[in-house]
Amino acid sequence: MDKEKELYEETQEISEEEKAPEKDATSKIKRRSQPEPEKKQEDDNLCIHCGKNKKAAGSNYCSVCISKATKTKVPVFAWICVVVVVLFAAVALLLSYLNFAPAKRILEGREALSENRLGDSFNSYEDAFYLADELNSELNWNLVFVGRRVRIEEAKVTVKLNAPFYAYNFLSQYFTEPELRKNPETVGYYNDFQKFNEFLQIISAIDGEDEKSADEALEKVAVLKEKYKDVKDKYFYVLFTENYIKENYKKTGKDELLKDIDEIKKLYPEEKWFYLNYYCDLYFDTGRYDECLTACDEAIAYNRNLSAAYLNKLKVCFINDDEDASNAVLGAYLGSNSEDDTYYAMKIMMLRRFGDSIDSTIEECEKDILIAEGAPEVYRQQALNYLVKGDYDSAFDTAYNAFVTVYNLYSYGAMDIQLSETRETLYVCAKLYEKNGSGMSEFHSSLADILASFEGYTASENAAALIDGKKTPAEILTEGMADFV
């Protein structure tokens, strides 16, 4: 190779006269590997390229060919192109780095959807948009975008997750964008929401404290029920609204509600988001535990993030005094969910129900409160632990903290939070503190106001038994379903 290089240099000095006759030689360069054998036999000393001149010393080529070949320069334009490509690569690297996090969230969202982890999927999509906004505001330059069509993907998750409520939040926020208006899928969701909106207005007009306004709402629903009995998609929302009012405002019996849900399931088997979780609650509340377990399994298969179904299942396992099955529920929850507040709450319930001592449960719960960053349900469980221990001051303080947190979350529009459970826990803890407390609670001065806010409140059977002293906290909270709600 070195010899050839030297030859290249030597050939630069070859005179023009010497080169001229061979000017066309390089244009006749042919692609070939070795000289043909016959030719080789004829004259081994000829250049293997042009086949005319003698080989230069130490080379297979003649000096003319070497000279011509070395003059074939790489065009300047090619070097400019390379510089442009390298610059492009730098920009691509920067943009890829910025796009990585939102893109990862969208992939996670899709994966979660394919695994029926609807809550995770929804959160991932929301995260993708949030991250893009965050990056742009940090850079002070809009470089990262998540397209509008990702909203359509998200819409599919929200509709599956909890159709009318999420559709309401989602579409009222994004339907103004022309892209979504043009898309037949989102138009479909929007029309669904519009159908539901009529009934939503009936629900929102009800004054929760006034029994009469609930009756009036039910009368309106009855009129609409007759009007829309042949309009299949609207009739679903009629039944939904009727059921919602009965459950939340009329305190209709669970058995009657179950019949209503059976009817809805028969007419609208595709609306799984509505009846699957409902069945879990109703079967549990009516004491049909085997059916509850089946319903929970079905609900979990539909949405593996449905924490309420896991909780119901766990409570049934507690009632059956089945520690192994309880462990299996906790394991299954962790298999599809992160170590969130529901996980810690379930873990603490397990420890209280099957653990050795309440002191170790309290100690463990303290650690979990720190990890779960003050999740209200973990606080509530700690309040129950203190009740079992007989430390009514701490129970009241902890329940108050849980309620304040849960109420704030509720005010900010959080769903799937246990507001009523936390409220009842605060009520029980306040009553027992009033009766048995030392008067040294951190929130002692608020006690009277808290109790006043519960005037006319009807506690559940177990909660009432605790307050009246008919049952001890240990009897209710370390046996049976390990909770009074």
Shortest spacing between CB 1 and other proteins, in angstroms: 6
x/- mask, other proteins, residues 125-144, rule CB under 8 A, reads ---x---x---------xx-
Shortest spacing between CB 149 and other proteins, in angstroms: 4
Identify the CA nearest to 317 among candidates 481, 477, 462, 483. Answer: 481
How much is the CA Rg of the chain, to the nearest whole Å?
38
List own/partner pairs for 174-183 with CB under 8 A and 24 or more apart.
174/148, 177/148, 177/151, 179/148, 179/149, 180/148, 180/151, 180/152, 183/149, 183/152
The alpha carbon of residue 124 and the mean position of all alpha carbons in its chain are separated, in whole angstroms, by 4
Among positions 6, 18, 88, 262, the unique one binding other proteins when judged by CB under 8 A: 88
Residue 288 makes CB contacts below 8 A (sequence gap 6+) with none
Binding of other proteins by 106 (CB under 8 A): yes
Stretch that binds other proteins, among 62-70, 218-226, 413-421, 469-477 (CB under 8 A): 62-70
- The β-bridge partners of 46 are 54
Shortest spacing between CB 96 and other proteins, in angstroms: 5
Nearer to other proteins, 92 or 370 (CB): 92
For residue 427, the one-letter residue type is Y
How many residues touch other proteins (CB under 8 A)?
Answer: 47
Nearer to other proteins, 103 or 187 (CB): 103
Classify each residue of 262-284 as buried b or exposed e, where b means 16 or more C-beta atoms within 10 Å of its C-beta: eebbeebeeebbbbbbbbbbbbb
Shortest spacing between CB 3 and other proteins, in angstroms: 10
Among positions 61, 249, 283, 379, the unique one binding other proteins when judged by CB under 8 A: 61
Shortest spacing between CB 186 and other proteins, in angstroms: 14
Angstrom distance (rounded) from CA 31 to CA 353: 85
Binding of other proteins by 26 (CB under 8 A): yes
Segment holding 308, helix H or strand E? helix 307-319
Among positions 15, 41, 45, 72, the unique one binding other proteins when judged by CB under 8 A: 72
Binding of other proteins by 78 (CB under 8 A): yes
x/- mask, other proteins, residues 27-46, rule CB under 8 A, reads x-x-xxxx------------
Stretch that binds other proteins, among 15-23, 94-102, 230-238, 471-479 (CB under 8 A): 94-102
Structure token pair of residue 188 = 């479909």
Binding of other proteins by 102 (CB under 8 A): yes
Residue 471 makes CB contacts below 8 A (sequence gap 6+) with 462, 465
Residue 29, φ and ψ in degrees, nearest 5? -60, 130
The alpha carbon of residue 133 and the mean position of all alpha carbons in its chain are separated, in whole angstroms, by 18
Shortest spacing between CB 21 and other proteins, in angstroms: 18
Residue 131 · residue 104 · CB < 8 Å: no
Shortest spacing between CB 135 and other proteins, in angstroms: 12
For residue 453, the one-letter residue type is S
Nearer to other proteins, 81 or 231 (CB): 81
Binding of other proteins by 179 (CB under 8 A): yes
Point out which residues bind other proteins (CB under 8 A).
1, 4, 26-27, 29, 31-34, 48-49, 60-61, 65-66, 68-69, 72, 74-75, 78, 81-82, 85, 88-89, 91-93, 95-96, 99, 102-103, 106-107, 128, 132, 142-143, 145-150, 179
